[in-house]
Structure 1
Amino acid sequence: MPTGLDKIILILTIAGFIIGLSGNVFIGLVNCSEWVKNRKVSLADFIITCLAISRISNLLVSMSSSWILELSPHLSTIYEVAKSTFMLWRITNHLTTWLATCLSIFYFLKIAHFSHSVFLWLKWRMNRVVLALLVFSSFSLIFDFLLLKPFTNRSLNTYKTDESNLTLHKISYIKNLTLLSLNYFVPLALSLTSLLLLFLSLMRHTRNLQLNSVGAGDPTTEAHRRAMKMVMSFLFLFIIHFLCTEVAMWVCFIFSNNEYIKFVMLTFYLFPSGHSFILIVGNKRLRQTALRILWHLKSHLQR
């Protein structure tokens, strides 16, 4: 029987899942309808749509894992179920992380202003740079997938081996876990660098507008301040997502108790849910569509 704490965790999990799913489904539907209507799509909209689809998949896998841990914990001990769930979550999480990285680099090259020759060279080849990152992420996914199968086998068999082989299994597990963690440092470093440089560029531009006697309520100044808040919000969520992903991997290794894993898995819904609404607020078309839908809902409820 689920305890009171299990019920609270399950309610929070369902809430995070519904919020994240609604935001990402909304982004996917709006962008796909625009794609069909205009018969063309920009690179930014293509990345955002792919990001929404990968996050929907990631949320479904995370929800399934939480459901198994809460309501049917005996299924988590079945080898095939645990292996399939972990590999699906890792692959969807990999795609989500890299697509978010490509999106952050795209916005950095498009919005930021620097006079350095390297930045100008990258800015002139912005689409090629982002496409090259997408191709590199595919090769990185292949490398990740090659590590996943032996890593999953060792992680699931670590506590089923005898004492003489337990140390060897743990050492092998730590080696593979370290390689998987290092593979995640690449998108993290790229995202941190691009977002921090974008924030510095926006802050410098906002300060120049204020020094040029542009009013604090000027639309340009307010737009830059809103952009800075969005950049920092995304940066904060991305760091939390990365840390929680790594903590979850090590918690599974150190603790065999599912209670610790349940708390860590709650944080998996922060990034796909929070960032989707940041994208909606920051994108003019998505924001206007969301406001129209809310206005129609409000009118319908009033009637």
Structure 2
Amino acid sequence: MFPVLRTIFLILSVMEFFVGMLGNVFIGLVNCSEWIKNQKISLVDFILTSLAISNVSQLFVILLGSLIITLFPGLLLTIKLAKPSTLIWRTTSHFTTWLAACLSIFYLLKIAHFSHCLFLWLKQRVNRVIPMILAFSLVFLVFDFLLLETFNDIFQNTASESNLTLVKRLYFKSQILLSLTFFFPVVLSLISLFFLFLSLVKHTRNLKLNFVCSRDFSTEAHERAMKMVTSVFLLIMVHFFSIQLTNWMFLVYPDNEFTKFFILPVYIFPSGHSFILILGSNKLRQRALKVLRHLKPLKRENPLALQIHLQESFQR
């Protein structure tokens, strides 16, 4: 890569990394401080904190990959580094997508209103349903590991034969199989969004039948949850297709100087996801606004006063 392009790529990667870290660390500090203070944590705060940790882990993995590809491109071609980096990447991506799906299901069970016995049964046991879904997702993670181990051995044997056409064909098949595990959390998010919409339509119809024209709390909760689930779903899709496109571009055009820039959209999900979570949570949004209001006058003070104030805000 030309020195100018390399520098631009590294600057953009570091900028996206720090933007994502800002939002995710904020979520983690707020929820963990309340957890320590109250000696307990709610289910939604646990999901948000886990998502923040998963996003931070994924940001570190992406940044490390960007640095290695730019500064030491030959390292990723070695089996000793390629296999563990792939496993770490799949692990962070797995928990991020499944936790996002669990958050969508949580909003569905907490906000939507249906009289079906199955929905009521799930609604009453939401604190058990979400952990069970996360535990069940580990089956897909094990399936991922087995597939990756199998295809790594096949790729290693095929690469020694220098058959590029066969390598591309095997890579395409491996991506199809690995995408199946990504398919399930996406479907769960879509189902949650669909039933949230049905519940909103039903609730709005009941308001009109009762001659209630004003918006109530339930309507606003439905709309807020739908916006969050829709935004997260779109980010997941952008994230998924960015990964597939990046992998394919590196396989087809490994020596192209502009190929590395396809990594930049991969940062969008772990970086932008945190700010969607902050905007979708009343507590996080109010705490963020409180911090921003106090930052303006503190800009004129010394950095030590600013640091002390931020620590006190998180402790409160």
Equivalent residue for 2:126?
Answer: 126
* Contact kept? 2:232, 2:273, Cα under 8 Å: yes
Gaps of 5+ in 1: none
Equivalent residue for 1:231?
Answer: 229
Within 5 Å, which residues of 2 pair with 1:253-272?
A: 253-257=251-255, 259=257, 261-272=259-270
Aligned counterpart for 1:242 among listed residues 240, 243, 246? 240
Equivalent residue for 2:151?
Answer: 151
Q: Residue 117 and residue 58 in structure 1: after superposition, are their counterparts in 2 closer, same or farther (change >3 A)? A: same
Partner amino acid, structure 2, of 1:214 = C
The TM-score, its normalising length taken from structure 1, stands at: 0.87
* Contact kept? 1:241, 1:270, Cα under 8 Å: yes
* Contact kept? 1:280, 1:286, Cα under 8 Å: yes
Equivalent residue for 2:311?
Answer: none
Separation in 2, partners of 1:24, 1:15:
14
Separation in 2, partners of 1:133, 1:276:
22
Q: Residue 231 and residue 172 in structure 1: after superposition, are their counterparts in 2 closer, same or farther (change >3 A)? A: closer
Q: Give the C-alpha shift of residue 222 in structure 1.
A: 4.9
Separation in 1, partners of 2:18, 2:205:
40
Q: Report sequence identity in percent.
A: 53
Q: Residue 184 and residue 229 in structure 1: after superposition, are their counterparts in 2 closer, same or farther (change >3 A)? A: closer
Q: Give the C-alpha shift of residue 158 in structure 1.
A: 4.7
Equivalent residue for 2:75?
Answer: 75
Separation in 1, partners of 2:296, 2:157:
54
* Contact kept? 2:112, 2:222, Cα under 8 Å: no
Equivalent residue for 1:106?
Answer: 106
Q: Aligned pair 1:86/2:80, yes or no?
A: no
* Contact kept? 2:100, 2:232, Cα under 8 Å: no
Equivalent residue for 1:38?
Answer: 38
Partner amino acid, structure 2, of 1:279 = L
Within 5 Å, which residues of 2 pair with 1:1-303?
A: 2-155=2-155, 158-163=158-163, 169-206=167-204, 209=207, 212-215=211-214, 221-222=219-220, 224-257=222-255, 259=257, 261-302=259-300
Separation in 2, partners of 1:185, 1:34:
34
Q: Give the C-alpha shift of residue 279 in structure 1.
A: 1.0
Q: Give the C-alpha shift of residue 260 in structure 1.
A: 6.0
Partner amino acid, structure 2, of 1:286 = L
Equivalent residue for 2:313?
Answer: none
- Bigger relative contact order, structure 1 or 2, given CA contacts below 8 A and separation 6+? 2
Q: Give the C-alpha shift of residue 108 in structure 1.
A: 1.1
- What do the CA deviations read for 1:233-264 (whole angstroms, capped 9, x no partner)? 22211221222233334444444346465233
* Contact kept? 1:155, 1:253, Cα under 8 Å: no
Separation in 2, partners of 1:107, 1:145:
30
What secondary structure does 1:214 align onto?
coil
Q: Give the C-alpha shift of residue 204 in structure 1.
A: 4.6
Q: Give the C-alpha shift of residue 153 in structure 1.
A: 4.2
Q: Give the C-alpha shift of residue 198 in structure 1.
A: 1.7
* Contact kept? 2:278, 2:284, Cα under 8 Å: yes
Separation in 2, partners of 1:53, 1:33:
15
Q: Residue 162 and residue 221 in structure 1: after superposition, are their counterparts in 2 closer, same or farther (change >3 A)? A: closer
What secondary structure does 1:55 align onto?
helix
Separation in 1, partners of 2:168, 2:26:
43
Q: Residue 28 and residue 158 in structure 1: after superposition, are their counterparts in 2 closer, same or farther (change >3 A)? A: farther
Separation in 1, partners of 2:263, 2:165:
27
Q: Give the C-alpha shift of residue 124 in structure 1.
A: 2.3
Q: Residue 210 and residue 282 in structure 1: after superposition, are their counterparts in 2 closer, same or farther (change >3 A)? A: farther
